[in-house]
Amino acid sequence: MQVAEAFKHAFLKQMLLGFQASVVSPKSMGFQERKSAIKLSADVAMAVARGTRKWTRGLIAGLSKEHQNRSFLQLILGEQYERLMKPCHSSWKIPRCKKIVRRSLRVCCRRKKKKNQVGVLARTLVAKRTQELKILVPGGESMDGFSLLDETLDYVVSLRAQADLMQSLLTTIEASKLRSHSKGTLPERKASYVGN
Amino acid sequence: MPIEMSSRRSRITDEEINELISKLQSLLPESRRRSTSRASASKLLKETCSYIRSLHREVDDLSDRLSDLMSTMDSNSPQAEIIRSILRS
């Protein structure tokens, strides 16, 4: 499963906006501060590129809870910030959903003669792991059953893409640095652009 | 009057859930090595959690490396100019 091309473009563009904000910023940043800004840019880029999902809203909401993030968020999101911060109208409730998923997941377990004991253990494990997952997926605490699985799938695909795109950015910048060092001093390079 | 599961059409079918579970399983790194038999629910959830954590670590590491790379980048460097020109387009 792959993200769309549009996602990749939106991610990279948003990421670069974040870079610009952290590099061109009036104050010079130390390593940790710059790293935090990059990480923040990457998460915002991923959420913006993906669009409206429960986890993207959860992610942005979580990020903006930290005071130190807010001004940076407003800077890199611009007018999108207000829109993204609007409270989400909760989607339709699925009262039976929990039961359906539990029943379906239970089918996965091996059937034994001591069915009751296995059943209880399996249910406890599933409940424990589900709780863990709710913490890992942004906005997960308010999700249940089908919703949680659906959002998890989407989130994992997006995370994979985030890592891949950051790697390709890294590679590109490294390569361009290598080229600019080998081609000589900066003024000479600028002169060659002017002619275009 | 209690409503039986079977007598009520829910909006999400078992089929859809099974499809979701299959898709999730196919994303996990170890699933390629494993046989086609379905993993237990708790195992699937455990591996999903584990995978998400490793992706978080990967992104954290990449952020380290990008921060390192950009430490020598100032607003006059060619890289900054490239970034600016991409953003203009």
DSSP readout, A9-30?
A: HHHHHHHHHHHHHHHSSSSPP-
* Amino acid identity at A110: R
CA angle centred on B6, ends A146 and B36, rounded to 5°: 50
Does residue A188 surpass a pLDDT of 70? no
- CA–CA min distance A79, chain B (Å): 17
The pLDDT assigned to B29 comes to 85
Nearest to A52 by CA among A177, A151, A181: A151
CA distances from A17 to A40, A78, A113, A159, B28 (A): 12, 10, 60, 19, 32
Mean pLDDT for B50-55 is 96
Number of neighbouring beta carbons within 10 Å of residue A121:
13
Report the distance separating Cα B47 and Cα A83, nearest Å: 35
For chains A and B, what is the number of CB pairs under 8 angstroms?
165
The 3-state secondary structure of A138-176, one letter per residue:
CCHHHCCHHHHHHHHHHHHHHHHHHHHHHHHHHHHHHHH
pLDDT at A49 over 90: yes
C-alpha B54, offset from chain centre: 10
Structure token digits, residue A67:
């005071």
pLDDT, chain A, mean:
80
- Give the integer Cα–Cα distance in Å for A195 and A148: 55
What per-residue confidence (pLDDT) applies to A87?
A: 63
- Model confidence at B8, in pLDDT bands (50, 70, 90)? very low
pLDDT at A116: 73
Percentages (nearest 5) of helix, strand, coil residues in chain A: 75, 0, 25
Would you state the pLDDT for residue A132? 95
Q: How far is CA A104 from CA A78, B13, B19, B27, in A?
A: 44, 10, 11, 20
| C-beta separation of A122 from A46 below 8 A | no
From the candidates A159, A171, A174, A182, which should be mutated to test the interface with B, based on the most B CB atoms within 10 A?
A159
Q: Any idea of the CA torsion for A168, A4, B82, A32, to the nearest 10 degrees?
A: -60
**Percent of chain B clearing pLDDT 70 (strictly above):** 63
Residue A147, pLDDT above cutoff 90: yes
Please name the residues in contact with B84: beta carbons below 8 A apart, sequence gap of 6 or more.
A20
Name which of B8, B17, B66 is nearest A170 (Cβ-Cβ). Answer: B66
pLDDT of residue B51: 96
C-alpha–C-alpha distance, residues A48 and A147, integer Å: 20
Say which of B48, B62, B84 has its CB closest to residue A163: B62
Of A35-49, A88-102, A171-185, B61-75, which one has max mean pLDDT?
A35-49
CB contact under 8 A, B42 and A31: no
Per-residue pLDDT at A109 exceeds 60 = no
| pLDDT tens digits, B15-40 | 888 888 899 999 998 655 555 556 68
